Amino acid sequence: MSATRALKVLVVDDSGATRQMLQAAVEALADERGERADVDTAASGLKALQLLPGQNYDLILTDINMPDVHGLELIRFVRQQPQHKDTPILVISTEGAEKDRQKALALGASAYLVKPVEMAALRKAVEGVWPAEKVR
Amino acid sequence: MNDKEFRAEASETVEALARGVSQLDSGLKTGKVSPALINDVFRAAHSLKGVAGLFGVEALGQLTHTMEDLLDALRLGKLPLTSAVLSALDDAVEVFQKLVAGGRENDPKLLDALTRVAQRMAAVRTGDGAEPEGRTLADLDLPQEFFTVLTEYEEHRLSDSAARGVPLYLVHAPLSLDGFDLALAKLTDLLKARGELITTLPSSQSGPGGIAFDMLFAGEMSAEEVKDAIGALSDQYTVTTIGRRNTPAPKEPPPLPVERETDTGVPAPATLAETVRVDIEKLDRLMNVVGEMAVAKSGIARVSEMLKAAGQANHTPVLELQKLARVLERKIDELQSGIMEVRMVPLAQTFERLSRLARKTSREVGKDVQFITRGEDTELDKLLMEQLSDPLIHLVRNAVDHGIEPKEARLKAGKPELGTITVSAQPRGHHVLISVEDDGGGLDEVNIRRTALERGLVTEERVGSLSRRELWNLIFLPGFSTRRETTDLSGRGVGMDVVRTNISRLSGMIEIDSNPGRGTRFTLTVPITLAIIQSLVIRVRGRTFALPLNGVLEILAYEPNLLRTVEGREVFQTRKGSVPLLRLGDVFGFGGEDNPRGYVVLAGVALNRVGLVVDELVGQQDIVIKPLGRLLKGLRGIAGATDLGEASTVLVLDVGGLLEEALGLSAAA
């Protein structure tokens, strides 16, 4: 259990409240598993683009509806990077856009959660993409 | 992150939503609604939904969801923007504003309103269902991978532009990973100013440190013009015309390498404004500290005066001390105005709220009213702004309800059917003038006279001698309000007397101007801040008080031979007529006599005047008013306490309260 490296997580959402909520949730989830999460947050798709190339994330959470560079474009960008080819991506967005949901999954998102997201749903999704053995 | 911050963000989002809905309204009236605006409103609703959960109210979650759904339909062109849709959005915004303003989530009235608005919205929504215009996307000569990343909304915008025959372009911008945000922001602004930027697709570049953007742009301009425009930013940018597969576009050689141009020398824009949200109480604390520093500074100045008086004026340390005291004074002034500046907020938000209120009220009473605002970027202290909002709401509601005549009456009078209400603001030194003006029938003087008589606010003989202005001012008397309506917005009955009291509590004034058949104008004059005020320090029978200078009009010598007694009240004769006299010593029950060689300080709020008998004038000083404890809070005529330095704390007089005392307004009729 000792000195495993912290799980690197990126949270992308243009709402500060949502970002902080997700960050707290992810940290709590990691804690439950006896691990540590190191969470970066980005207030826009553009900010995420600046972070991604220099990092190696274990998990990415993103909204779809953001100005300029949106979630679908971001997922595509993530997948273009060798170090992020298999990084789990959870989309947390609106339930209305069925077509957007399908596209997100087609582009390589691991799961699509609907806002406002509940802790239980988030835990389930994280467990789905983060099997303990894979992270170790 | 605590609940307060959540609320702060929710509140900002709601205001963005409110602004957007307001713009949609004017857009609808002028027939110009930009898709980008609808999308902005949609995104505000979307953000709100994200934080709705924190309020823990299911009804709120439902409303945000219904609203997002509605706006989604709007932006996808599945639902036309109508006044019914706008009205539902307006109502939703209002409920949200109440919630984020600290409304109790479990308030049954609020829950009821939430449910009702959600139902209305759902009802408006059911009218749609029409599929958007035929898809023309397949015809577009775009790389297939584009279609895998476009959101439904972007697809809609793309096909809409294509269907309308707007030329479509693909702008390619290869940038360096390092600091690409500035260059991209410049390019984005440029394109948005010339047309619609449908999407910005980033691509990882194979080269080290590279990133590229493909921007889908719809604009009424030729490829040549696009090329020139973007070429001014960088020679790396290229543009391709997106042709139609079936109906090939005129042959243009895509892609066009942009020719090199000399550097335009335009500096890159500063990074996007970063803002910090600060609790106003923290600013209040800082302000208090600055006030105390100012007091300490006067202490230093005093010490140096003392040294000078002791014949030490030419000693280097004394000169040095004086110099330092002056530097300190300048710096404290800077600090003070710096903090004041931070507290300032533009009136825009308040005006926007008034505009919605005017729309809503005019719908309720069945009048057509246009609402015009001017000077919305005028700034006021945030705290003051909050306290001004109720009076302004009342004035605007009155203007729609009573000011603007019914349609038939307007037509008969040869006026346009559409009534106009203008709310404007302009800075005037340390004050701001805010006026609420309607082009209605003016004040009904016959009715005012009758009401005042009926309610015994004025005697028969007196009413005949009143000037028109005095007659108008009768509407500010307590007990005048002809209707004690309970408003939805404030939830309690308010009359014009409450408006006046609220304004004078802010050391402000309210004036009326009325023109029969042409309209009425209420003008509020309020200080731009309450935090620091200038005061006149006075002494009355051995006690010291501070009198806010903004209520002081004139200082006269006290001359016993100018005293008269009218109806058992002392009045003082001035050049401009007589004013009621108030002996502060008697008001506060000090006993003793007033100095026969003292002064009469002529004080006034709005059009009321009072002469205050004062023994001694000590001087002028900037003060920070601190509230009295709970026990002394309700004390009439006292606004608070302040520290004058030299360890002396004195009471600050409240001119408005004293006036009411003098004129017997508080106990009228």
Of the two residues B555 and B633, the one the predictor is more confident about is B555
Whether residues A100 and B152 touch (CB distance < 8 A) is answered with yes
**A62-78 pLDDT per residue, tens:** 999 888 899 999 999 99
Alpha carbon distance B173, B210 (integer Å): 11
Asked if B177's CB is within 8 angstroms of A69's CB, the reply is: no
> Which of B79, B145, B149 to mutate to probe the A interface, most A CBs <10 Å?
B149
Q: Which of residues 473-532 of B touch A (CB under 8 A)?
A: none
Which residues does residue B620 pair with via DSSP β-bridges, in sequence order?
A: B536
Instruction: Give the CA count within 13 Å in the CB-facing half-sphere of A35.
Output: 21
Quote the Cα angle for B276-B280-B285, to 5°. Answer: 115
pLDDT of res. B257: 38
Task: Answer whether A77 sits within 8 Å of B204, measured CB to CB.
Answer: yes
Distance between CA atoms of residues B245 and B482, nearest Å? 71
Q: Is A132 on the interface with B (CB under 8 A)?
A: no
Residue B105: per-residue pLDDT: 59
Question: Looking at residue B466, what is its pLDDT?
Answer: 82
Query: In chain B, which residue's Cα lies nearest the Cα of A100?
Result: B151
**From CA B116, how far away is CA B122, in angstroms rounded?**
10
Residue B343 has pLDDT above 70, yes or no: yes
Q: What is the pLDDT of residues B180-219, one digit of tens each?
A: 888 899 999 999 989 899 999 998 875 666 889 999 999 9
Kindly list the residues from chain B whose CB atom is less than 8 angstroms away from the CB atom of residue A20: 1
Least confident of B207-211, B268-272, B465-469, B546-550: B268-272
**Surface of A (90-109) touching B: CB under 8 A:** 94-97, 99-100, 103, 106-107
Listed in sequence order, the residues at least 6 apart from B393 whose beta carbon sits closer than 8 Å to its beta carbon are B353, B354, B357, B487, B489, B490
Mean pLDDT of A23-39: 88
How many helices (H) and strands (E) are present in chain B, helices listed first? 20, 23
Nearest CA in chain B to A45: B202
Instruction: With a cut of 90, say whether residue B521 has pLDDT above it.
Output: yes
The region of weakest confidence among B219-223, B309-313, B497-501 is B309-313
Size of interface A-B (CB pairs under 8 A): 107
Task: Extract the runs of DSSP E, i.e. beta strands, from B456-576.
Answer: 509-515, 519-527, 533-540, 543-548, 552-557, 563-566, 569-574
Answer yes or no: is pLDDT of B134 > 50: no
Largest CA distance in chain A: 44
Best residue in B74, B151, B176 to probe A by mutation, most A CBs within 10 Å?
B151
Give B-chain residues touching A99 at CB under 8 angstroms.
151-152
pLDDT band at B647 (very low <50, low <70, confident <90, very high): low
B50–A16: do the CB atoms touch at under 8 Å? no
Phi, psi for B460 (deg, rounded to 5): -55, -45
Nearest CA among B448, B456, B441, B371 for reference residue B408 = B441
Phi, psi of B112, rounded to the nearest 5 degrees: -60, -45
Distance from C-alpha of B258 to C-alpha of B237, rounded to nearest angstrom: 7
The span from the CA of B328 to the CA of B321, in Å, is: 10
Please tell me the predicted confidence (pLDDT) of residue B109: 74
Q: Is the pLDDT of residue B32 over 80?
A: no
Cα separation, B417 vs A13, in Å, equals: 48
Nearest CA in chain B to A49: B202
pLDDT of residue B505: 73
Q: How confident is the model over B232-287, as pLDDT tens digits?
A: 888 889 998 988 765 444 444 334 333 333 334 444 333 344 567 777 778 878 87
Q: How far does B236 lie from chain A, in Å, by closest CA?
A: 20
Is A69–B200 a contact, with Cβ atoms under 8 angstroms apart? yes
pLDDT exceeds 90 at position B509: no
Query: Searching chain B, which residue's CA lies closest to the CA of residue A104?
Result: B149
Query: Would you state the pLDDT for residue B314?
Result: 75
Interchain CB contact of A120 with B (< 8 Å): no
**B chain contacts of residue A50, beta-carbon cutoff 8 Å:** 177, 180-181
Amino acid occupying residue B171: V
- The end-to-end CA distance of chain A, in Å, is 10
Given a contact cutoff of 8 angstroms between Cβ atoms, the answer to whether B379 and B344 are in contact is yes
Strand partners, B606: none
Cβ of B42 under 8 Å from any chain A Cβ?
A: yes
Name every chain B residue with its beta carbon within 8 A of the beta carbon of A73: 149, 199-202
Q: For residues B643-662, b (16+ Cβ closer than 10 Å) or e, as one string?
A: bbbeeeebbbbbbbbbbbbb
Strand partners, B371: B421
CB atoms A49 and B200 under 8 Å: no
| Secondary structure E strands in B313-456 | 344-346, 369-374, 379-381, 419-428, 431-438
Residue in A18, A63, A67 closest to B51 by CB: A18
| Distance, CA of B189 to CA of B173 (rounded, Å) | 14
Report residue B537's pLDDT band, with 50, 70 and 90 as the boundaries. Answer: very high
| Nearest residue to B645 (alpha-carbon basis) of B332, B285, B301, B299 | B299
ipTM for the predicted complex: 0.87
- Structural element, H or E, at residue B202: strand B196-204
pLDDT above 70 for B9: yes
- C-beta atoms of A14 and B47 within 8 A: yes
Q: In the numeric block, which tokens belong to residue B371? A: 């609402």
Do residue A115 and residue B151 have CB atoms under 8 angstroms apart?
A: no
Tell me, what's the pLDDT at B2? 53
- CB of B130 within 8 Å of any CB in chain A? no
Residue A38 · residue A9 · CB < 8 Å? yes
pLDDT reported for residue B438: 94
Question: Is the confidence at residue B499, as pLDDT, over 70?
Answer: yes
Residue A43 and residue A29 in contact, taking contact as beta carbons nearer than 8 Å: no
Averaged over B648-664, what is the pLDDT? 78
Contact indicator for B625, B381 with CB cutoff of 8 Å? no
Q: What are phi and psi of B596, to 5 degrees?
A: -65, -15
* Residues B151, A24: C-beta atoms closer than 8 Å: no
Interface membership of A46 toward B (CB under 8 Å): yes
Which of these, A109, A115, A114, lies nearest to A128 by C-alpha position?
A109
**pLDDT digits over B581-597, tens only?**
888 888 888 888 888 88
**Residue B504 tokens, joined:** 């004078």
pLDDT confidence band for A122 (50 / 70 / 90):
confident
pLDDT score recorded for residue B507: 72
Gap between the Cα atoms of B374 and B354, Å rounded: 12
Cα separations in angstroms, B248 against B141, B227, B242, B393? 9, 21, 10, 58
Q: Could you say which of B47, B68, B204 has the minimum Cβ distance to residue A80?
A: B204
Average pLDDT value for chain B: 79
Q: How far apart are CA B248 and CA B94, in angstroms?
A: 51
Question: A99 and B152 in contact by Cβ < 8 A?
Answer: yes
Q: How far apart are CA B230 and CA B234, in angstroms?
A: 7
> For residue B334, is pLDDT > 70?
yes
pLDDT given for residue B55 in this prediction: 61
**Cβ <8 Å between A94 and B43:** no
Instruction: Report chain B residues whose CB lies below 8 A from the CB of A49.
Output: 180, 202, 211
What's the pLDDT band for B1 if we cut at 50, 70, 90? very low
Closest residue to B181, CB basis, from A50, A73, A81 = A50
Does A94 contact B204 at a Cβ distance shorter than 8 Å?
no
Residue to test with chain A: of B3, B4, B37, B47, most A Cβ within 10 A = B47
B71 lies within 8 A of chain A by CB: no
- Say if the Cβ atoms of A18 and B5 lie within 8 Å: no
Q: What confidence category does residue B298 fall into, taking pLDDT thresholds of 50, 70 and 90?
A: confident
Inform me whether the pLDDT recorded for B520 exceeds 90: yes
Query: B1 touching A, CB under 8 A?
Result: yes
The Cα of B426 is separated from the nearest Cα of chain A by a number of Å equal to 34
